[in-house]
């Protein structure tokens, strides 16, 4: 092993590591591709969606071969070429713990992992997988993550539950592929998210929402950054107590504004 596998503590600013990039939402992925399969668990299962299967390829991306969504694999090939040019020593040590894997997000029973669509990849350095959830990242990953950002991939070190081994196509990148016709025929209706935050979403904004709900409702919701059943129930509870809000469990602009007002004591 090399010094590239040594870990560095990430401070609170890690949530901003990806700049404006955001991981692709479940709603977006379901609207664009459909569900990869009919049911999910914590174990990898085969993709049964025939349209999605037609977009899956197994190809070389430089340091190894992967199985994933065609435009994601092509983009990774470009990213790893950049890594090889800038950091040849790290490039030669890179491996993968997998790309296509139809399952839920770890420790969730609601959020579908973007591995399920073949748009995410887990990396190893010298065969070592970075530990998830310890708020640390391997030095080698810190050295190369910007190459992923430069091509629209989001780094999982910024997730509320840190996941530095993980990189995935961002929301903007999915829409870019769609606009360029790289994803085949997409249903005309429902291809754009019509809500702000909802069931299945995850990220720093969900953790912030969970903290607001806990304070406003006087309850304890784990701020894990995943919009699951408990978070949706809390949103419905808040909406039912607030005049003029639809009790749909979706956090649109009106619900978010009402939450902020309640938190400031003006609601």
- DSSP bridge pairs for 9: 136
Integer Cα distance of 210 and 214 in angstroms: 6
Rounded Cα–Cα distance for residues 88 and 92 (Å) = 6
CA-wise closest residue to 145 among 82, 70, 65: 82
Q: Round the CA-based radius of gyration of the chain to a whole number and report it.
A: 19
User: At residue 200, does pLDDT exceed 90?
Assistant: no
CATH architecture of 3-179: 2-Layer Sandwich (3.30)
Q: For the chain, give every domain's residue range.
A: 3-179, 204-264
- pTM of the model as a whole: 0.84
- Supply 148's token pair: 């992923």
Alpha-carbon separation of residue 220 from 88, 192, 256, 257, 264 (angstroms): 47, 32, 19, 21, 19
Of 127-136, 166-175, 178-187, 201-210, the one with minimum mean pLDDT is 178-187
pLDDT score for 2: 92
Question: What is the CATH architecture assignment of 204-264?
Answer: Orthogonal Bundle (1.10)
Predicted pLDDT of residue 78 = 98
Residue 243 CB partners (closer than 8 Å, separation 6+): none
């Amino acid at each position: 092993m090399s010094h590239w596998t040594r870990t560095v503590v990430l401070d609170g600013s890690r949530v901003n590591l990806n700049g404006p990039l955001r991981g692709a939402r479940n709603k977006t992925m379901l609207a664009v591709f459909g569900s990869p399969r009919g049911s999910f668990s914590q174990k990898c299962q085969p993709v049964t969606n025939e349209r999605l299967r037609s977009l899956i390829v197994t190809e070389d991306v430089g340091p190894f071969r992967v199985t994933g969504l065609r435009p994601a694999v092509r983009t990774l090939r470009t990213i790893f070429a950049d890594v090889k040019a800038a950091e040849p020593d790290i490039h030669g040590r890179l491996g993968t713990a997998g790309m296509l894997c139809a399952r839920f997000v770890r420790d969730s029973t609601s959020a579908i992992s973007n591995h399920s669509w073949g748009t995410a990849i887990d990396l190893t350095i010298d065969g070592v997988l970075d530990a998830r959830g310890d708020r640390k990242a391997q030095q080698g990953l810190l050295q190369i993550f910007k190459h992923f950002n430069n091509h629209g991939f989001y780094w999982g070190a910024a997730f509320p539950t840190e996941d530095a081994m993980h990189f995935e196509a961002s929301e903007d990148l999915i829409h870019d592929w769609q606009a360029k016709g790289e994803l085949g025929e997409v249903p005309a209706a429902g291809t754009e998210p019509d809500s702000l935050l909802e069931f299945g979403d995850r990220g720093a904004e969900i953790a912030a929402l969970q903290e607001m709900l806990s304070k406003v409702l006087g309850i304890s919701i784990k701020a894990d950054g995943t919009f699951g059943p408990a978070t949706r129930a809390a949103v419905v509870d808040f909406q039912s107590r607030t005049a003029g809000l639809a009790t749909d469990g979706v956090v649109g602009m009106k619900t978010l504004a009402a939450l902020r007002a309640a938190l400031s004591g003006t609601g």
